[in-house]
Structure 1
């Protein structure tokens, strides 16, 4: 049975899943869900994820939402070393994936909601919220920048699921103007991912095309 992944191609979280699936050679069937048309809030979709968010994975009777959980599932199913080659490495990868959810991605998502989603709704951004998110991003980025000062990837000397989790906010960073550029090791790491992980570079174009199309359709300059 084919694993179905429901999501909007403009989503950085969907990008994490589609990239991981390609890297692990896991066959998936994409099911498009247009977030900007409210398709994630239909009664049918809400039975899959009551939060009305994507991506969502359906593999037979297994339904999972949250991209990190989906990637862990796919990695275990594929026996992939993206989840670590040793128990110690696995726990370190999990530590950074949890760190990403708690300390990192949430503030970039908040900035996207203020600077992109509100523009689509014709509402002004809340500068206080944007400033708070920028402060939290800088605090976390300083930790990550130090981590990447003497290593090519977040854990060990190769790509893991930790890198994909933490790299997700770069999917929208040029549009949201989050302060990633202030941290040279972080910028160099993202460039390294684009240069050495073809799947990450390919999925970037999908995100860009989707969001730019939505903005242009709304009469907003990308």
Structure 2
């Protein structure tokens, strides 16, 4: 049985979404980020990323983490590539070349897009976003993201999806990263193929199911 450690309001959302897409049964062990707690070491603190019980599973103290029949793995995007590859089917690569493309696009998004997009999502409310520092942060992030949006837009114009002209784990991985920038409508207006693609990804029942559970978790 697959065990996923994390909460839906974290990068574990990527793994919960994929597990549902693949029809994988799993056990969810809620592990909250320690920084969200006033005292993560308090006797009555919920299981969190600094809890000894969790550190025994994942010494890095980060979520998500999976235990797949004794095989423990971290890093949400890598976990998804592993689960898709293990399960097979249309979401996985059908050839070595497709596997390589999925890894390439995932690593590109993780290194070239997410570092900038995450700065936007970390501005958690309107007050933060409209502060002088918030406006500067958003302006710099938008500038850095334009090239990435343009690259993905060109790929989608040619193929409709990231790899193999069908929805795959690569689309899911990238969609969860590009979601961080959804508040920046000008980026999506300038990349209509990205805008349409993200809407198609997020229209999938498994995404909606994941988001519903995410929205019911405390912020």
Normalised TM-score (structure 2) = 0.80
| Closer, same or farther: CA 145–32 of 1 in aligned 2, 3 Å | same
Q: Does 1:87 align with 2:85?
A: no
Distance in 1 separating the partners of 2:133 and 2:60: 23
Q: Does 1:34 align with 2:41?
A: no
SS of residue paired to 1:84: coil
Higher deviation after alignment, 35-44 or 153-162: 35-44
Query: Which residue of structure 1 lines up, in the alignment, with residue 175 of structure 2?
Result: 167
SS of residue paired to 2:81: helix
SS of residue paired to 2:164: coil
Distance in 2 separating the partners of 1:116 and 1:52: 23
Structure 1 unmatched ranges of 5 or more: 215-222
Runs of 4+ in 1 over 6 A off after TM superposition: none
Distance in 1 separating the partners of 2:185 and 2:61: 26
| Closer, same or farther: CA 92–46 of 1 in aligned 2, 3 Å | same
* 1:53-68 pair list within 5 angstroms: 53-68=62-77
Match of 2:23 among 22, 25, 45: 25
Query: Which residue of structure 2 lines up, in the alignment, with residue 107 of structure 1?
Result: 116
SS of residue paired to 2:91: helix
Match of 2:87 among 71, 75, 78: 78
SS of residue paired to 1:103: helix
CA contact (8 A) 1:7 1:30 kept: yes
Distance in 2 separating the partners of 1:191 and 1:135: 23
Higher deviation after alignment, 66-75 or 77-86: 77-86
Structure 2 unmatched ranges of 5 or more: 41-47
Query: Which residue of structure 2 lines up, in the alignment, with residue 147 of structure 1?
Result: 155
Tell me how many residue pairs correspond in the alignment.
206
Distance in 1 separating the partners of 2:167 and 2:137: 33
CA contact (8 A) 2:65 2:72 kept: yes
Deviation at 1:99, TM superposition (A): 1.0
Query: Which residue of structure 1 lines up, in the alignment, with residue 6 of structure 2?
Result: 7
Query: Which residue of structure 2 lines up, in the alignment, with residue 97 of structure 1?
Result: 106
Distance in 1 separating the partners of 2:184 and 2:124: 7
Distance in 1 separating the partners of 2:184 and 2:54: 28
Distance in 1 separating the partners of 2:136 and 2:59: 29
What is the root-mean-square deviation in Å for CA atoms of aligned residues? 2.8
Normalised TM-score (structure 1) = 0.79
Distance in 2 separating the partners of 1:105 and 1:148: 19
Higher deviation after alignment, 201-210 or 2-11: 201-210
Deviation at 1:84, TM superposition (A): 0.9
Distance in 2 separating the partners of 1:124 and 1:153: 37
